[in-house]
């Protein structure tokens, strides 16, 4: 086969971009070589609809072993009773849970997208807000912390069938126990989507939702540092009474209803190459090396938050308990969009983000979201967090000054040269 030079040249360019720049997108990370190798492996050739031992295709004996290892490792990592490793993404995992637990038109209650929630938690532009009647809770304006009183008030008034907790841009821990108590008053299912802080939760650095929430979903590619994908977990509620009735009138276990919601509910064949990569990533996340890494992710986020606050930046809720922070730039007289563009010109990658009670549109925004998962994989520590905040501050102070941005870009490249990525065999 003739090599597709065009695409491989672009992939080389992308690798160079990742190596040279400072990656601060809170949902990104750099996977290990072995995770990447598995994701690009022969398992991509295999159809395996169904579950290990119960497939609709022949020749699945080896991928059955791979998927079984992935399931067992996921259960060990999160201390879960049951896992489905097949969702192609976080959005698919959430779609499967909703298909399993809800009927079209049912009410759901999730964290407001504009306060830091995710599209799949009930946004009107997403299936979750189109198929279901969605309600939301937000943060308290003065503190930036989840407004649990509002959550309870809306829950008791609207009696949603599902309460969703978890976020894409919230830097604090969650009170899952309180949310479960509210849900129990109205007979609602609690879904915790831990996509962002997944690795911190797995290694005990944040509150574990599994003892409290009926169902937990996560992506595998953020703090967890696996391939792009999704995962569904159940704790002690795996035999809960929300299971659907079979035609014979028997109550199905939640786990089997969820398995069927993934396939045949919303997906076809599972991506066994990605499942192999997930199995490797779960194994890595159980290691001592990953424990050191994830502790450093949190230390770096705290060092970075302090450096921003010291330079007069407003962090929503005043700091962080996890790997990310949301910065309101209104006192710096720059929009999220302008800041993102200027920073990208200096090879510092962040994303613009709505802040709670934002007066600008999602295309402009008043804030940026910054995370430390990716740069910590490259080996950066607290000292470099200060340096990075100085570089960001210099960009934001003079965002249209091309010669200045060029100088900052050079400094960015120089800093990152000391933290090699895939070009150096000893890294990642
Ligand atoms: N849930 C949360 C909380 C997220 O932050 C994200 C992605 O950013 C998702 C779900 C969706 O994940 P994916 O992009 O893999 O569909």
The fold adopted by the segment(s) 288-417 is: 3.90.1150
pLDDT category of residue 201 using cuts at 50, 70 and 90: very high
C-alpha to C-alpha distance for 310 and 28, rounded to whole angstroms: 26
More confident residue, 19 or 242: 19
Would you state the pLDDT for residue 423?
Answer: 74
The answer on whether 88 is annotated among ligand-binding residues is no
Contact indicator for 86, 66 with CB cutoff of 8 Å: no
Would you state the pLDDT for residue 236?
Answer: 78
Active-site annotation holds for 228: yes
**pLDDT for 262-285, tens place per residue?**
999 999 999 999 999 999 999 999
Would you state the pLDDT for residue 80?
Answer: 96
**pLDDT for 30-56, tens place per residue?**
999 999 999 999 999 999 999 999 999
Residue 26 Cα, ligand 1 centroid: separation in angstroms? 11
Q: Nearest C-alpha to atom 11 of ligand 1 is from which residue? A: 90
Q: Nearest C-alpha to atom 9 of ligand 1 is from which residue? A: 90
The answer on whether 361 is annotated among ligand-binding residues is yes
Judge if the beta carbon of residue 366 lies within 6 A of ligand 1.
no
pLDDT at 65 over 60: yes
Active-site annotation holds for 284: no
**pLDDT for 376-391, tens place per residue?**
999 999 999 999 999 9
Active-site annotation holds for 47: yes
C-alpha to C-alpha distance for 298 and 205, rounded to whole angstroms: 9
Contact indicator for 164, 110 with CB cutoff of 8 Å: yes
**pLDDT for 129-187, tens place per residue?**
999 999 999 999 999 999 999 999 999 999 999 999 999 999 999 999 999 999 999 99
Active-site annotation holds for 112: no
Residue 280 Cα, ligand 1 centroid: separation in angstroms? 21
Which of the following is catalytic: 120, 217, 219, 372? Answer: 219
Domain boundaries, the chain: 34-286, 288-417
Judge if the beta carbon of residue 226 lies within 6 A of ligand 1.
no
pLDDT at 244 over 60: no
Would you state the pLDDT for residue 253?
Answer: 80
Would you state the pLDDT for residue 416?
Answer: 98
Active-site annotation holds for 290: no
Instruction: Pick the closest to residue 62 from 273, 280, 285, 284 (CA basis).
Output: 273
The answer on whether 118 is annotated among ligand-binding residues is yes
Would you state the pLDDT for residue 239?
Answer: 59
Would you state the pLDDT for residue 241?
Answer: 53
Q: What is the mean pLDDT of the chain?
A: 95
**pLDDT for 299-328, tens place per residue?**
999 999 999 999 999 999 999 999 999 999
Judge if the beta carbon of residue 110 lies within 6 A of ligand 1.
no
Judge if the beta carbon of residue 222 lies within 6 A of ligand 1.
no
pLDDT category of residue 251 using cuts at 50, 70 and 90: low
**Ligand 1 site-directed mutation target among 25, 85, 86, 91, most atoms within 8 Å of CB:** 91
Active-site annotation holds for 193: yes
Percent of the chain residues topping a pLDDT of 70: 95
Judge if the beta carbon of residue 32 lies within 6 A of ligand 1.
no
Instruction: Pick the closest to residue 311 from 372, 370, 397, 374 (CA basis).
Output: 397
| 145 burial level (CB within 10 Å; 0-12, 13-18, 19+) | middle
Q: What is the DSSP string of 88-103?
A: SSHHHHHHHHHHHH--
Which of the following is catalytic: 67, 112, 152, 193? Answer: 193
Residue with tokens 């598995």: 38
Would you state the pLDDT for residue 238?
Answer: 59
Percent of the chain residues topping a pLDDT of 90: 93
Which of the following is catalytic: 28, 49, 72, 175? Answer: 49
Which of the following is catalytic: 228, 299, 311, 330? Answer: 228
Atom of ligand 1 nearest to the CA of 166: 3
| 323 burial level (CB within 10 Å; 0-12, 13-18, 19+) | buried
Judge if the beta carbon of residue 219 lies within 6 A of ligand 1.
yes
Residue with tokens 């990953």: 290
**Ligand 1 site-directed mutation target among 117, 195, 262, 374, most atoms within 8 Å of CB:** 195
Q: Nearest C-alpha to atom 14 of ligand 1 is from which residue? A: 90
Instruction: Pick the closest to residue 307 from 230, 393, 377, 374 (CA basis).
Output: 393
The fold adopted by the segment(s) 34-286 is: 3.40.640
């Amino acid at each position: 086969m003739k090599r597709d030079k065009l695409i491989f040249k672009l992939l080389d360019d992308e690798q160079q971009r990742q190596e040279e720049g400072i990656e601060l997108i809170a949902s990104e990370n750099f996977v290990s070589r072995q995770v990447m190798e598995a994701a690009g492996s022969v398992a991509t050739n295999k159809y395996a609809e169904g579950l290990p031992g119960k497939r609709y295709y022949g020749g699945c004996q080896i991928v059955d072993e791979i998927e079984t290892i992935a399931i067992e490792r996921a259960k060990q990592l999160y201390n879960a009773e049951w896992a489905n490793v097949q969702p192609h993404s976080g959005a698919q995992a959430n779609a499967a849970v909703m298909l399993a637990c809800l009927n079209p038109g049912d009410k759901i209650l999730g964290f407001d997208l504009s306060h830091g929630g995710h599209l799949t938690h009930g946004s009107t532009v997403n299936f979750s807000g189109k198929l279901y009647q969605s309600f939301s809770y937000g943060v308290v304006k003065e503190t930036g912390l989840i407004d649990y009183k509002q959550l309870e008030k809306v829950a008791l008034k609207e009696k949603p069938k599902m309460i969703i907790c978890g976020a894409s841009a919230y830097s604090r821990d969650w009170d899952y126990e309180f949310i479960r108590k509210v849900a129990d008053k109205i007979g609602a299912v609690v879904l915790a989507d831990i996509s962002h802080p997944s690795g911190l939760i797995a290694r005990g650095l944040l509150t574990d939702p599994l003892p409290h929430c009926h169902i937990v979903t996560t992506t595998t590619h953020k703090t967890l540092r696996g391939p792009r994908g999704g995962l569904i977990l159940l704790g002690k509620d795996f035999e809960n009474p929300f299971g659907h009735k079979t035609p014979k009138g028997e109550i199905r276990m939640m786990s089997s209803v969820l398995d069927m919601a993934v396939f045949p509910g919303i997906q076809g064949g599972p991506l066994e190459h990605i499942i192999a990569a997930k199995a490797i990533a779960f194994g890595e996340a159980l290691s001592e090396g990953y424990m050191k890494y994830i502790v450093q992710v949190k230390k770096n986020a705290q060092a970075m938050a302090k450096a921003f606050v010291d330079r007069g930046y407003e962090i929503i809720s005043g700091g962080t308990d996890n790997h990310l922070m949301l910065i309101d730039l209104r006192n710096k007289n720059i929009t999220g969009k302008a800041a993102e563009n200027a920073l990208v010109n200096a090879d510092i990658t962040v994303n613009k983000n709505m802040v709670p009670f934002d007066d600008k549109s999602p295309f402009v925004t008043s804030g940026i979201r910054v995370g430390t998962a990716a740069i910590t994989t490259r080996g950066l520590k607290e000292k470099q967090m200060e340096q990075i905040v100085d570089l960001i501050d210099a960009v934001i102070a003079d965002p249209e000054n091309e010669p200045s941005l060029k100088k900052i870009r050079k400094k960015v490249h120089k800093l990152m040269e000391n933290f090699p990525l895939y070009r150096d065999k000893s890294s990642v």
